[in-house]
Amino acid sequence: MKLDLQDDNTIALKFYGGLLGALIPFIVFIIGVVAIALSGAPDEKGFWPVLILAMSLGLILAKDRTAFSEVFIAGMSQKIVMIMIMAWMLASIIGILMTLTGFVEALIWISNQLSLNGVGFVVATFIICCIVSLSTGSSFATILICSPLLYPTGGVLGAHLPSLAGAIIGGAAFGDFIAPISDTTIASALSQKAKIGATVKSRIKYVVPAAMLALVGYTITATWLNVESSTNQVMLTGKPAGLIMLTVPALIIFLFLKGKHLLHGLLFGLIFGTIVGLGSGLLSFEQVISLDLENYVAKSFIIDGINRAVGLSIFTLLLMGLVATLKASGLMTNLVDFAALHAKTKKQAESWIAGVMSTAVLLTTHSIVAILMVADFSNKTGEKLGVPKIRRANLLSLMACVFPFILPYFIPVILMSNMTATGKEFGIPQVGPLEVGLYNFMSWGLLVMALMTLFFRFGKNSNNDK
């Protein structure tokens, strides 16, 4: 499954204070998000004022404010942004549909049949999400599919909630790094002129140790921090009636495996799930659409799902607009030129490739955009100093699968935090973005492997291009 990227922006922005002036709005944004996350922000709506402040600072510091406005709007209106917002809405609707039709209770029933407690469910969640992400090649799809089903179930079973959320996003990062159909794998390999099959094979030595570290981390935290469920006994027992709804995520995954578009898979899943719910009696027509004439409002699980996605959607729009202005400042171009001048040896080349890629990810907040921005520098520097193309591709993907899944201002982390709101119907509290990233042991494991690669030359003999 591929997500199209669109970047037609050719406007160059100049700021008072030079590149520092371009960075100031982004620095304010990061500081604000981290501060709010540390204070326990209830949801992503708390980040809206910070983004508006950052946007205002950028406009004030821009020498050409009309150009700044045009770049900001162009960044918001990119095709990838529209795809993400539609995905948030459809996935939120599907999540509410699965809750209404009793699928969470069915998963609880299965867990009881398998004698899974909270600890076992966290470990099982990580493994399930690894399989889903490996199958779909999409971290977003994995979070969107698995969160509404597994998070409430684990919460009812008494699982440690940050570990549970971390297991879901950790499983999503697993496939993003190694799946042959992952956008990250495709972009990193093809941009370095490496064969995808050989690149995927070379990543096993990175992903297996990282996954083992993650399993140990989830087992330890889920055991030590496990809580007794306060949910009533009927809920703990669960009911098997909703098992038929398993066909909904199965259909979505099948469509993704067939290479269908993200919206194609989610929309067909929603249509199919609604039909199955109505046909089985698990969903009433009044839950699909009803009119409250006294209060002049319409009621629908579809409306509830869209409302749930509003916070994340506005956050995404504002963030991508801000990122577009930073890209238009030429900051990354200057950084790449600087790195190209200072890479003199093979080891230095690897360090600069990883460093520039990390910076690009941190500033663009989008791994694919970052890979494409750094690709030419990585190619030329790596070829000049003898860094194999597969090793270059692996360095790019390692950086791409760490920061976006750990830091609280990245969309995958915000999305995962947003999706934990699906537990509210069962009395399960939401997990903040800071905790989501902290307990993503898979990405922390990949960071360990990245450091071993850079400082101890791990994998240097097996990353050749022969």
pLDDT in tens, 173-199: 999 999 887 888 888 888 898 988 889
pTM: 0.80
> How many Å apart are CA 325 and CA 379, to the nearest integer?
26
- 266 pLDDT band (50/70/90 cuts)? confident
pLDDT value of position 237? 61
pLDDT in tens, 238-263: 678 888 988 988 888 888 778 788 78
- In this predicted model, which residue has the larger pLDDT, 330 or 416? 416
pLDDT in tens, 75-121: 898 887 888 788 888 888 988 898 888 887 888 788 778 877 888 89
pLDDT in tens, 428-442: 999 989 999 999 999
Angle between helices 247-257 and 139-156 (to 10 degrees): 160
pLDDT value of position 6? 46
pLDDT in tens, 16-65: 999 899 989 988 988 888 888 777 655 678 888 999 999 999 999 999 99
Average pLDDT, whole number, for the chain? Answer: 85
pLDDT value of position 241? 84
pLDDT value of position 463? 54
- 236 pLDDT band (50/70/90 cuts)? low
Mean pLDDT across 341-359: 87
Examine the pLDDT at 397 and tell me if it is beyond 90.
Answer: yes
Examine the pLDDT at 150 and tell me if it is beyond 60.
Answer: yes
Mean pLDDT across 128-132: 90
Residue closest to 41 by CA, chosen among 406, 422, 418, 441: 418
Q: What tokens were used for 184?
A: 């990250």
Examine the pLDDT at 215 and tell me if it is beyond 80.
Answer: yes
Q: Percentage of the chain surpassing pLDDT 70?
A: 92
Residue type, 137: G
pLDDT value of position 447? 96
Examine the pLDDT at 234 and tell me if it is beyond 50.
Answer: no
pLDDT value of position 288? 92
pLDDT in tens, 290-339: 888 887 888 899 999 898 888 888 988 998 898 889 888 888 778 878 87
pLDDT value of position 422? 86
pLDDT value of position 5? 45
Neighbouring C-beta atoms of residue 358, cutoff 10 Å: 19
What's the burial of 336, exposed, middle or buried (CB within 10 Å: 0-12/13-18/19+)? buried
Mean pLDDT across 340-356: 86
Label each residue of 81-142 as H, E or C: HHHHHHHHHHHHHHHHHHHHCCHHHHHHHHHHHCCCCHHHHHHHHHHHHHHHHHHHCCHHHH
Label each residue of the chain as H, E or C: CCCCCCCCCCCCCCECCCHHHHHHHHHHHHHHHHHHHHCCCCCHHHHHHHHHHHHHHHHHHECCHHHHHHHHHHHHCCHHHHHHHHHHHHHHHHHHHHHHCCHHHHHHHHHHHCCCCHHHHHHHHHHHHHHHHHHHCCHHHHHHHHHHHHHHHHHHCCCCHHHHHHHHHHHHHHHHHHCCCCHHHHHHHHHCCCCHHHHHHHCHHHHHHHHHHHHHHHHHHHHHCCCCCCCCHHHHHCCHHHHHHHHHHHHHHHHHHCCCCHHHHHHHHHHHHHHHHHHHCCCCHHHHCEEECCCCEEECHHHHHHHHHHHHHHHHHHHHHHHHHHHHCCHHHHHHHHHHHHCCCHHHHHHHHHHHHHHHHHHHCCHHHHHHHHHHHHHHHHHHHCCCHHHHHHHHHHHHCCHHHCCCCCHHHHHHHHHHHHHHHHCCCCCCHHHHHHCCHHHHHHHHHHHHHHHCCCCCCCCCCC
pLDDT value of position 4? 44
- 232 pLDDT band (50/70/90 cuts)? very low
- In this predicted model, which residue has the larger pLDDT, 172 or 364? 172
Neighbouring C-beta atoms of residue 57, cutoff 10 Å: 18
pLDDT value of position 83? 83
- In this predicted model, which residue has the larger pLDDT, 331 or 13? 13
Examine the pLDDT at 449 and tell me if it is beyond 90.
Answer: yes
- 151 pLDDT band (50/70/90 cuts)? very high
- 461 pLDDT band (50/70/90 cuts)? low
What separation in angstroms does the CA of 157 have from each of 221, 234, 271, 424, 430? 16, 12, 30, 15, 15
What's the burial of 52, exposed, middle or buried (CB within 10 Å: 0-12/13-18/19+)? exposed
